[in-house]
């Protein structure tokens, strides 16, 4: 449930409600607007049934929250959350592009890519150091060596860096090198991993699971936020359906649905959604038009010899052209790019 205070409610009235909630063993989440304060109640609300909160001083109304996710809920937090990742902000008026190779293959490959994507307009470098692959015989990533290359690329270009983590050991290593942790689709409901990522305090990019509903996805984000880390960015990367023309089906409708249900920013990954290079550009434009806060696009110096996901990776000239084409779309949506 949420408690909406009257406009310009007195600080004493707000403190009284907060103390009352805490005395009953419940947690609170406070959203302070310019005029109105909203208090979210997390826990068994039946403990407050005898408190007559509706008639407490400066309380405007009580609104029940039926969804199981609370902290990620827009009812709890009406203002959009802006997540700071290094020098970049996701969720405000800036349109953000993350780009880089699916897998970090070498120092030279990553640095070459970093300079190329920055020139085109990207502000965050993505790269896979830990690669959870369908086949155990596929390239699994360079692990800490790759993370060191990411740190070097950040220092050389000024780009922020994000990398997927797949275990507690990976988190403990990655926090020394990156600005943002990524939880991949296969780990979206690895609740232990989500909590450990939340404890780091670093921004977390949470990809939608292979067959997850939007409510599943938002509940997963709740595990991160409940650890005291509100810096979560959602990433729509396609879901499995009966269609076989693309690797997954990009659920573009997830963007406006998330915007209505949650205050968290959302980006779109058309590369993993389709698995096909030629589909990345048109779906990127769709994502901007739908209201996404950014994109994650895979690029590679030579996709033909990429160790992972070459068929969906853009060349540097293709990526630069796409960024040029996206700018008017972003401007029409009121985003800076």
Sign of CA dihedral 291, 294, 300, 306: negative
pTM of the full structure? 0.90
Query: Quick check: 45 and 1 in contact, CB under 8 A?
Result: yes
Surface-to-core class of residue 106, CB atoms within 10 Å of its CB (0-12 exposed, 13-18 middle, 19+ buried): middle
Closest CA to 276 of 305, 313, 251, 240: 313
pLDDT by residue, tens only, the chain of 337 residues = 889 999 989 999 999 999 988 988 888 888 887 788 989 888 777 777 767 888 889 999 988 888 889 899 998 888 899 999 999 999 999 999 999 999 999 999 999 999 999 999 999 999 999 866 566 656 667 889 999 999 999 999 999 999 999 999 999 999 999 999 999 999 999 999 999 999 999 999 999 999 999 999 999 999 999 999 999 999 999 999 999 999 999 999 999 999 999 999 999 999 999 999 999 999 999 999 999 999 999 999 999 999 888 999 999 999 999 999 999 999 999 999 8
Number of Cβ atoms within 10 Å of the Cβ of 25: 9
Rounded-to-integer distance, Cα 234 and Cα 294, Å: 10
CATH pick for 2-63 out of 3.20.20.70, 3.30.70.1140, 1.20.120.160, 3.40.50.300: 3.30.70.1140
Structure tokens at 27: 């947690």
Q: Domain segments of the chain: what residues?
A: 2-63, 83-332
Sign of CA dihedral 184, 188, 192, 194: positive
Please provide the CATH number assigned to the domain covering 83-332: 3.20.20.70
Residue bearing tokens 């590369």 = 271
* Backbone dihedral angles phi then psi of residue 293, each to the nearest 5 degrees: -90, -10
Structure tokens at 30: 């406070």
Burial 144-174 (b: 16+ CB within 10 A, else e): bebbbbbebbbeebebbbbbbbbeeebbebb
Q: Angle formed by the axes of helices 107-120 and 316-332, to 10°?
A: 30
* DSSP E strand boundaries for 194-303: 204-207, 232-236, 266-268, 294-298
CA distances from 132 to 138, 139, 298 (A): 9, 9, 17
């Amino acid at each position: 449930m949420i408690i909406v205070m009257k406009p310009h409610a007195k600080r004493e009235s707000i403190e009284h409600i907060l103390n009352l909630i805490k005395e009953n063993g419940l947690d609170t989440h406070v959203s302070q607007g310019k005029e109105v304060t909203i208090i979210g109640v997390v826990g068994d609300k039946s403990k407050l049934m005898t408190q007559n909160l509706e008639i407490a001083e400066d309380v405007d109304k009580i609104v029940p929250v039926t969804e199981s996710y609370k902290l990620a809920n827009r009812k709890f937090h009406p203002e959009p959350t802006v997540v700071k990742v290094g020098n970049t902000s996701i969720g405000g008026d800036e349109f953000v592009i993350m780009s880089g190779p699916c897998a970090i293959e070498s120092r030279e490959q990553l640095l070459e890519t970093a300079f190329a994507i920055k020139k085109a307009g990207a502000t965050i470098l993505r790269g896979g150091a830990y690669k959870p692959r369908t086949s155990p015989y596929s390239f699994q990533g360079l692990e800490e060596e790759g993370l060191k290359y990411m740190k070097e690329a950040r220092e050389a270009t000024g780009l922020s860096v994000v990398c997927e983590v797949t275990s507690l050991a990976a988190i403990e290593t990655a926090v020394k090198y990156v600005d943002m942790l990524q939880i991949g689709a296969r780990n979206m409901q690895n609740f232990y991993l989500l909590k450990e990522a939340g404890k780091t305090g670093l921004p977390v990019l949470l990809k939608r699971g292979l067959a997850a509903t939007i409510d599943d996805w938002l509940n997963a984000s709740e595990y991160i936020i409940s650890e005291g880390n509100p810096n979560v960015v959602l990433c729509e990367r396609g879901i499995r359906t009966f269609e076989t023309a693309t690797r997954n089906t990009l659920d573009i409708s997830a963007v406006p649905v998330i915007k209505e249900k949650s205050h968290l920013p959302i980006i779109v990954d058309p590369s993993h959604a389709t698995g096909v290079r030629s589909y990345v550009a048109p779906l990127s434009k769709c994502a901007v038009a739908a209201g996404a806060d950014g994109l994650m696009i895979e690029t590679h110096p030579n996709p033909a010899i990429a160790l992972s996901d070459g068929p969906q990776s853009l060349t540097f000239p293709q990526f630069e052209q796409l960024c040029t084409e996206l700018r008017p779309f972003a401007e029409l949506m009121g985003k800076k790019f």
